[in-house]
Amino acid sequence: MAKILVVDDEADLELLIKQKFRRKIRENVYEFVFAQNGEEALLKVKEHPDLDIILSDINMPVMDGLTLLSRLPEANPMLKAVVVSAYGDMQNIRTAMNRGAFDFVVKPVDFDDLDLTMEKTILYVKQLQDTIKAIKENNILKMYVDENVLNFMTHKEFENSLLKNEVVDATVLFVDVCGFTSITENVPANTVVNLINRLFDKIVTEIVAQGGHVDKFMGDAVMAVFRGDFHLDRAIDAALATNAQLNNIEEITAGDQSYKPQIAVGINSGEMVSGNIGSESLRRLDYTVIGDAVNLAQRLQSAAKAGQIIISEETYHKAKESFRCERIGEVTLKNKAKPVTIYQVLE
């Protein structure tokens, strides 16, 4: 339904409008709101933020239609006005159009022509509203969805490939913010959220700088995936840079507690399955990576202490020419039958 504001000081116009458009009013195609001058119209615009178009006369007391046109962008920039006036000389038409009128209808009114003009104007406004809505939704979506996922969604085969997957060689990085759970027990929730968001922002900045993408946030941890050339080197560089960033941060006061932010990192490289995991019927999917290489990265992170970047022995042999590492020894990891030899990346 389109909501239309009619602005005219003719006493019988409201009745005439309701008669001429009675069928569309009855069928909820049109809803009309009425005002007798420009000043009253501005009040109606404020009262009815869902207005779509305005039909306005020019010659009215208190505030004329041309002045109203100049005030509309400030009152509601989405509104479009059609001037309906007996003063249809070229000067008035040019002035009205220059002040933002969408169209001009000359009195006496041909109501069939007016209806077509209204339909055209309403269509334009609806398209404009849809565009603005799409932009807002896209900006919001970018806050929640990684750019790689958005790029995947724009692929023309997206609908047909929702549950397809591929095997890729990549590196997975898990970053856990250490000691954060104890903070949440004694600090207001809003303070906790602000603090973790500040820390996440520093972590994500380094991940993105190295060409990685954030797969998901998990409580006080971040999972990131690196693909392409030198994906392992870039993941380790991101972890080292994040460690350096946090080391330069002084203690943060959260409530009545002081907190020195540190991270524990697990990194693993190898083959993994990439694709949409979830339920097609529920329409809930997660574009992610899964596999033993991913699970091992998470287990390595759980074995890391504050400030440590832990990798497996296999990953160490891939990285040792580029990074200085230190052997820690064998550890028993969850769901691993045999002990795993782990290394710490130092620089």
Tens of pLDDT, residue by residue over 115-135, are 999 999 999 888 888 877 776
Q: What whole-number distance in Å separates Cα of residue 161 and Cα of residue 99?
A: 50
Q: What is the pTM of this model?
A: 0.55
- Report whether pLDDT(327) > 50: yes
- Give the Å distances, CA to CA, from 63 to 4, 71, 75, 163, 195: 19, 11, 15, 61, 52
- Report whether pLDDT(261) > 70: yes
Model pLDDT, residue 116 = 93
Mean pLDDT, residues 192-197 taken together: 79
Choose between 283 and 156: higher pLDDT: 283
- Report whether pLDDT(149) > 60: no
Mean pLDDT, residues 262-277 taken together: 85
| 268 in Cβ contact with 296 (< 8 Å) | yes
Lowest mean pLDDT among 2-6, 32-36, 106-110, 260-264: 260-264
Q: What whole-number distance in Å separates Cα of residue 150 and Cα of residue 76?
A: 32
Reported as a single tens digit per residue, the pLDDT across 30-56 is: 999 999 999 999 999 999 999 999 999
pLDDT band at residue 156 under the 50/70/90 scheme: very low
**Residue pointed to by tokens 């380094």:** 206
pLDDT band at residue 162 under the 50/70/90 scheme: very low
| 332 in Cβ contact with 339 (< 8 Å) | yes
Neighbours of 36 (CB within 10 A): 19
Beta strands in the chain (DSSP E): 2-7, 30-35, 53-56, 80-85, 103-106, 165-177, 213-218, 221-226, 252-254, 257-259, 263-279, 284-290, 309-312, 325-331, 340-345
